[in-house]
Structure 1
Amino acid sequence: MSTIENAPAAKEHKKTIAETMLELEEVDKDLYQSKKLWIPVSGKKAFGGNIIGLALRAATMTVSNEFQAHSLHSYFLSTAGPDAPVMFHVDRIRDGNSICTRSVTARQQGKDIYICTVSFQVPRPDAPNHYDPMPDVPHHSVLKTYEESMQSYIEDSSTPKSLTRYFKVMLNEPVPHDFKFTNRQTFKDFMNPPASKQQNFWIRCKGQLGDDLALHQSVLAYESDVNLLDTTAVTYGGSWLTNVGPDPIIKTILSVDHSMWFHCPFRADEWMLYVCDSTRYGSNRGLVFGRIYKEDGTLSVTVAQEGTVKLRNSDSSTAVVQSKL
């Protein structure tokens, strides 16, 4: 088992929500089955990040302990429903001395819903390295939690009653992670954010994980899908909250492909800064790149995702937004 460098002494472990959602049952050699899927209160399908994390978990279970995942490239073929387990079949593409490769196909009720290729490497921590610096943003200690933000929206007299009911439901939802936006602290900030090609937020798994690096990678793969593609809407003055109501800015948002590069060990149960950049939007497709930093400023993971994003009046507003940014 690959462990995180300088990990604290092991303590009695209580399973987190994320771990529960990433549990797999071995059905046969290289064939695994999900036990539980996270269905967000705002949707009727399984969360895409949950599928990514499970696929990475399945691939990792077929490699020897000295290897660590360093990249993942995947496509979503269809959404996963809540009423049946997802099967993950792993193909052992290559086993080399320093790199090995796995392909994973996820199926539900006989239908392919997701495919990915994962590459593993024997780490070389002493090799030279460099990376883009972490941006200067407010520290997570001075920002509101997700729960505090929801509660403040509920107590705000200007919040529409329909949204107040929605926020109360969200507060009772067993969310696997904490997150804090660096520049959105009020209801107005979320409903009418300034147009920007970038959004930043702190994120971490709720609860304490063990010291298995592979588990931390799967948990962060799960979390890497949170709010990423939404950055396309932020470019047009929208947010995930503007998807609620009679005339939402976001009409459709679906992930198409998702890639990750793991650069160094990290802990997914500690605060990490997620920097999301909307690089391109056109033909109802958004391309977003993400950088995930440890609190000390080390770039740990890079993410890229393209998806179908249909925005209200998106065709006519593109030129306007480009001129503002």
Structure 2
Amino acid sequence: MNPDDLNQVEHEQISTSLEVERLEVNLFRSKSLWVPLNARGVFGGQVISQAVVSATHSVPPVYSLHSLHCYFLAKASPATPIVYQVDHVRNGNSYVTRAVRAVQNGHNIFIMVCSFHKPEPWQPSLQWRMPEVPPPDQCEDEVDLFTRLIKDPKTPQRNLKLLEDILDQRKRSPIDVRLAKDHDISEGGVVRYMYWMKARNIPKYEAPFQKGILAYISDLRFIATPSRILGLKGRTGPNSLGMSSTIDHVIWFYDHDFDTGDWLLYEMESPRIGSGRAVVHGRIYTRDGRLIAVVSQEGVLRTNIRAPEELKQETKPMAKL
């Protein structure tokens, strides 16, 4: 049997996707893993969020997660549970630090360092203003979008199976997504994509779990931003996407009272693409305009353009000192 056949569908309840089993004081294990359509491995947002939940269990409730920095070291298979090992790096008065290693089949597949902080709401505050976009009720739900495309007689027959698979995945997803602005170009020439997102049918969870859900949401549509800006389409031909995969992911949380069950605006842009890599920056706002999180990510981005022949030649090993 192909191990990937054991992959579970994306759960309709986000709480199930984030759930981990506590094995020991600082040792946790995933209960479910999901591989998105055409992805190389388990959804990165799920790994991040499960690591966040694991780390949060090791911190006194007076501290609130304010940042995380993580690296994806290898793709994760859905066939084997991921074990999260939490290390107490530092316990300070205002800040505490945790490191989380995600291990599968004896190999490190992911590492995260996260910091927790006693909030200081009396300190000065400043933020960028939320972009002007249509409200969520005026934006098309992705389920409706793909249903419309499937029914459209102009849609090529060869695309129908893929669209049907995407539609099925979107129906199962615990996250509702609506495109707010597509390929928006600012006065300075910055190309941006903006989405309304929210977790479906959830109660008002406490702040620590809300941040786990936000970590899950933060990886949705993010790595696709550079390829969309470049106009890469399909999987064959020189202008097609050859490979796209996350290298690292960073989130800074600047609010501790938000509801992922209500609409959040996710603004995405890519300031630099080159050498087979791309950087993406994002900002997540509440519906009323509060900037609650800033996100950055670097990923592998390769087209199907072949390297020049002279670069394929094996180089002689350098002499050792």
On whether the aligned pair clears a TM of 0.5, the verdict is yes
Cα deviation 1:22-67 (Å, max 9, x = unaligned)? 1100111200000001221333521011101011110001001111
Tell me the alpha carbon deviations over residues 146-170 of structure 1, each in whole angstroms, 9 at most, x when there is no partner: 1000101101112122321222222
What do the CA deviations read for 1:242-294 (whole angstroms, capped 9, x no partner)? Answer: 34677772210000000000000211111111111101111011001100001
Structure 2 distance, partners of 1:246, 1:179, is 30
Structure 1 residue corresponding to 2:249, chosen from 240, 258, 280: 258
Tell me what 2:36 maps to: 40
Structure of larger gyration radius = 2
The counterpart of 2:18, out of the listed 22, 27, 41, is 22
User: Does structure 2 retain, via aligned residues, the 8 Å contact 1:16–1:208?
Assistant: no
Show the 5 A alignment for 1:150-299: 150-173=146-169, 174-184=172-182, 197-238=191-232, 242-243=233-234, 249-264=240-255, 265-299=257-291
Count residues with an aligned counterpart. Answer: 290
Cα distance in 2 for partners of 1:147, 1:312 equals: 30
Question: How far apart are residue 302 of structure 1 and its match?
Answer: 0.2
Structure 2 counterpart SS, 1:59: helix
Percentage of identical aligned residues: 31
Structure 1 equivalent of residue 4 of structure 2: none
**SS of match in other structure, 2:125:** coil
Structure 1 length-normalised TM: 0.84
- Larger deviation: 156-165 or 112-121? 156-165
8 A contact 1:49–1:223 mirrored in 2: yes
Query: For 1:29 and 1:211, how far apart are their aligned partners in 2?
Result: 23
Task: Show the counterpart of 1:58.
Answer: 54
Question: Quick check: 1:71 aligned with 2:63?
Answer: no
SS of the residue corresponding to residue 285 of structure 2 reads: strand
Structure 2: which amino acid aligns with 1:298?
Answer: R
What secondary structure does 1:202 align onto? Answer: strand
TM-score by length of 2: 0.85
The DSSP-based 3-state class of the residue aligned with 1:183 is: strand
Amino acid at match of 1:177: I
1:307 is matched by which residue type in structure 2?
G
Conserved in 2, the CA contact under 8 Å of 1:197 and 1:234? no
Does residue 148 in structure 1 map to residue 144 in structure 2? yes
Query: How much does 1:314 deviate?
Result: 9.8
Aligned letter for 2:270? S
The correspondence of residues 108-123 of structure 1 with structure 2, limited to 5 A, is: 108-123=104-119
SS of aligned partner of 2:14: helix
Q: Which moved more, 1:104-113 or 1:35-44?
A: 35-44
* 1:126 to partner: Cα distance: 2.4
Residue 5 of structure 1 corresponds to which residue in structure 2?
Answer: none
- The C-alpha deviation readout for 1:200-222, integer Å capped at 9, x for no partner, is 11111111133311111001101
CA RMSD of aligned residues (A): 2.1
Distance 1:91 1:57, change over 3 A: same
Q: Is there any run of 5+ residues in structure 2 with no aligned partner, and where? A: 1-10, 184-188, 309-321
Contact preservation (8 Å) 2:13, 2:202: no
